[in-house]
Amino acid sequence: MSHPTIPQLLAAVRGFLEDAQPALDGRLAFHARVAANVLAIIERELDQAPDAAEAAALAPFGGAAALCAALRDGRLAPDDLAVLSAVRSAVLARLATDNPRYPTYQRLCDHPIP
């Protein structure tokens, strides 16, 4: 016998909270909305793996810590297009998980670095 997957379980609980939220008042409605949003973030995290996307984007620079060190000591310039592109990719991967409805996220997706 098969059992529900983690994403299916998360979606079911999130759906329940979204359905129940209109019947709740004040603080409980707010907490139900927050809980549903948390579950949606977890679902996107499992689906999109932003940590892996960030690691891949920053790998050419030795990872996040190495990139920060290189920027601090002047080995890399903050306006270097390769640096900007890598950081942008890492940030977009995180924003896509945290809240893909952010207006800034949408704008950045629509306007890539020249």
| pLDDT at 1 (0 to 100) | 59
- Alpha-carbon distance of 45 to 86, in angstroms, equals 20
- Over 80: is that where the pLDDT of 113 sits? no
Give the pLDDT mean for 82-100. 91
User: Considering only CA atoms, which of 75, 69, 15, 66 is closest in space to residue 40?
Assistant: 15
pLDDT tens-digit readout, 1-44: 589 999 999 999 999 999 999 999 999 999 999 999 999 999 99
Q: What pLDDT band is residue 114 in, cutting at 50, 70 and 90?
A: low
Cβ(39)–Cβ(14) below 8 Å: yes
* Region at 70 (left for phi over 0; alpha for psi -120 to 50; beta for the rest): alpha
> Exposed/middle/buried for 52, CB within 10 Å: 0-12, 13-18, 19+?
exposed
